[in-house]
Amino acid sequence: MIHQSVRYRQHPIPLQAFGTTALRLAERLPQKAFLINLCQDRCFFTLGLIAAAWRRQTVLLPPAQSPALLEDLQRQFSDNFILTDDWIRKKTASAGCGATGRENLSGQEILRSLQLLAFTSGSTGKPQAWPRNGKMLQCCAKRALLALDLHRQRHAMIATTPPQHMYGLETSVIWPLCSRLVLTNQRPFYPEDIRRAIAQSRRSVVLVSTPLHLKACLDSPGAWHNIAAILSSTAPLDPEIASELERATGAPVVELYGSTETLSFAWRRPTQDPHWHTYAGVKLSCRDDLTVLTAPWLAEPVELPDLFLPIDERRFQSLGRQSDLIKIAGKRQSLTELNRLLLSIDGVNDGCFYLTDHGRVGAVVVTQRGRGEIRQALRRHVDPVFLPRPLYFVATIPRNETGKIVRSELNALLETLSHRS
């Protein structure tokens, strides 16, 4: 008997009925080579994913939904159809869920024909397309679920991240289709909405989120209940925040390491071990400034832009990206570490360092604290040559839906701030 792996507005839907609805939907999709899946509702997104797989359409997952980016995507892949929540809502209202002759569906069968193009976030330049398929996603999911001991659990997956992002796609869509975890349509944003969604779940919850979102949850007053585990990715999570989260929720906090290019391939629980643990079958080869990843789901090894220090065959330490390391007055520092220190300052809501045209570092900060206070707090941890000059105060930092900085928008903001000063 197939377990119930989908929950829509707190109502359980057997996977068989869900797959049947997707097949009916597939019959109504326009005959196009590419399907741009913009659905925000995670269940609708997944219906579109499955329907496209049965129609042998390649699914495009844009890293954002800005008009300029979508126009560029449509120019590159002209034979396309844009799938939205409204389109699915209208079609499923009249499609029904009648018998199809395929009543013994499994998550693996549903994903078998899936072909998609996932795009990098564009945080370091123009988004790049990476082809992915259902077989790769299943292979990675099985190893991730085993590594985290989630393969037999029946927790509900509630994510604050969009399903178009690889991290959100893997954890909140693919993992439930490959296990007993429950796929939900919820995507709460504000801390109180996240707390309410978790409390109202009929099953204990695995919360899938990002460091910025989790920090906001900690800063919001209120009790946290019904959480089985918390997953974090897209940026380094401060160990102190991880400790506070575990104290506040009573649940383990786990970080995932991965990218659009590789899928997730390692994990750690920062409150217990600072080192990353790879999934079964994953190998990292580190030579000088080059790291190569080999994984069972990858057709060929992938060169990584990150620097690693191997601890043993299954563990490693992350040293940051090669492009992230800066050198000033003969001293080295990582922009990622500087950002972590900045965000750990009490009263700093958001912020980031950047390299100026004059070979120094500057920073933009969202805070009510003064320049002297920020610099004094940083001086306790960093060499004076890495104190930000200039230090700008802004209302918001340009980030995408997963919390990554949009480089083009940040550059435009910095140019405006420079002219004003």
Phi-psi domain of 329 (left: phi exceeds 0; alpha: psi -120 through 50; beta: other)? left
Q: What residues form DSSP beta bridges with 83?
A: 37
Listed in sequence order, the residues at least 6 apart from 221 whose beta carbon sits closer than 8 Å to its beta carbon are none
pLDDT in tens, 56-112: 999 999 988 888 889 999 999 999 999 999 999 988 775 443 333 344 455 566 778
How many Cα atoms are found within 13 Å in the side-chain-facing hemisphere of 371? 11
Q: Is residue 59 within 8 Å of 117, Cβ to Cβ?
A: yes
Decide if pLDDT at 42 tops 80: yes
How many Cα atoms are found within 13 Å in the side-chain-facing hemisphere of 178? 24
Least Cα distance to 170 among 194, 146, 138 occurs for 138
Q: Is residue 214 within 8 Å of 236, Cβ to Cβ?
A: no
Q: What residues form DSSP beta bridges with 328?
A: 331
Q: Mean pLDDT across the chain, nearest whole number?
A: 87
* Separation CA 203–CA 194 (nearest Å): 15
How many Cα atoms are found within 13 Å in the side-chain-facing hemisphere of 47? 35
* Separation CA 341–CA 55 (nearest Å): 49
Lowest mean pLDDT, pick from 12-16, 138-142, 209-213:
12-16
Give the per-residue pLDDT at 101: 36
Decide if pLDDT at 278 tops 80: yes
Give the per-residue pLDDT at 402: 77
Strands ordered across the beta sheet of 156-159 = 11-13, 6-8, 182-184, 156-159, 205-209, 227-232, 253-259, 263-268, 276-278, 315-321, 306-310
pLDDT in tens, 379-417: 988 889 999 999 999 999 998 877 888 888 898 999 899
* Separation CA 325–CA 332 (nearest Å): 7
Give the per-residue pLDDT at 204: 95
pLDDT in tens, 149-202: 999 999 999 999 999 999 999 999 999 999 999 999 888 999 999 999 999 998
Give the per-residue pLDDT at 108: 62
pLDDT in tens, 228-266: 999 999 888 989 999 999 999 999 999 999 999 999 999
Give the per-residue pLDDT at 98: 36
Question: How far does Cα 171 stand from its chain's mean position?
Answer: 9
Decide if pLDDT at 219 tops 90: no
Least Cα distance to 108 among 163, 175, 181 occurs for 175
Set out the domains of the chain in order of their start, with CATH numbers: 6-320 (3.40.50.12780), 329-420 (3.30.300.30)
pLDDT in tens, 287-320: 777 789 999 999 999 998 888 888 998 999 887 7
